[in-house]
Structure 1
Amino acid sequence: MRPLMPPVQTPDNLFHDGNPLTGELGTIVDAEHLNNEQAAIRDTQSELIAILTAAEMEPESTAGQLLVALNKLYAPLNDTLGALSTLVGGANKLPYFTASNAAALTALSSIGRDIIGKATVADVLTYLGLKEAAKRDVGTGAGQIPDMSSFTNASGWQKLPGGKILQWGKAGFPVGQTQVSVPFPISFPGVVSNIQLTFSDINFSAGTPSPTLAVVNGTVNGAGFGAYMSGAGGFNAYFFAIGS
């Protein structure tokens, strides 16, 4: 832009009308001053047209073009810019918004910068050293990883992620009684797949006979089963059951 043009060459640098009564002449404008005015006007126009050109606009005989061009080139003041303008930047700091018109700074570590710079999720997982397990959902379906809620248990029973239930306990046979009903610690909601019986207190040193143990046919259900012992009674047996 051209330097500021000089004022009109009068004692007070102002234009004056003539006064016929006093014989005072009006200000005579010389060619230099008019040339300066023309140059200043054209220079100002050139500067304004340069702004329109930068905004990819053509000069038109309509008002408001300059404002439109400036708004295209520079974001108008709003809450977002106002919030950011209150911050004082610093090394390793990242701005974040605390409200629609407020912002603050938080520390940005080298790890944070590295992660932000990764192009894909796979790149982030590789950077963190995470393997295939990091891509799995929690659950008991195919390709999922069960959490501890899938391993619920209490005294005498254990649930597994796949839906299987393990149960165990002890059945007692009073003297002279060969069959007893044995309840499970909890009911199997589906099917009972297998029941195993073993003696718990046979005394071989005393010559105690070892009778047969068996599950009574037709007695198995989700709540329990019937156990048979072929001897005189007075024994206890362990049971272990698998179901779902």
Structure 2
Amino acid sequence: MMIFVPTRKIGEALQKYLREQRLETAFYHSQLGDAWKREQLLKRFSGESRPELNRIICTSAFGMGLDIKNVRLVVHWQHPSSIEDYLQEFGRAGRDGKASAAVLLHDRADARRDIGLLRFMADRAVGNAQLSPADALIASNHKAAQIDQMARLVTKNGCFREALVGYFTDSSRTTRRSLSTWLLEFVFAERGVRMQTADCCDFCQQRLISKQGQLAFIGKVLAN
């Protein structure tokens, strides 16, 4: 399991909390000792050294160097600064082709705080790049737009998976089926929500629970 965090401070707080829950978890970041120590930590996580690690916390910038094929779960403590970054990071899971999961945690009530943190980090990175004032403004605006775009994707209503795929493929969602079509599929077909058991996203899970309740009601009506 990999847990992505936006800052070292947040990672250290999470590491402390997990330790208090008796879940000792290594934390990989830029200021972790020297290169040898970081390399040894990676080897333990990849199973090349002992004792092995099956979970690790990492900052977004340095977690990109982790390329472990059997990662089953990737967790984001909050959404990253761009959709492209999110794709690269959750892509750490399931590189061996086996079933894996990606979980993105977010709190609508604290969304402004999370966005503010990402913008602060982006502005600091732009400031450290020693760009001209004009180029710095362009870079800052571009990063802010990417952060806002990712935030909208996370908080919008609808299937998160479809929205994510649509961003990269520029595909539009199919036309919504009518109620009569949906009822015909329920009565005569073996497809539809009765067969839907795979996890997708929070929106789809809530929709599935709601439709299962509707199906139970319609089934009772058709039985009478």
**TM-score greater than 0.5 by the shorter chain:** no
Q: TM-score, normalised by structure 2?
A: 0.19
Rg larger in 1 or in 2?
A: 1
Richer in strand (by share):
1
Richer in helix (by share):
2
Larger relative contact order (C-alpha < 8 A, sep ≥ 6)?
Answer: 2
Q: TM-score, normalised by structure 1?
A: 0.18
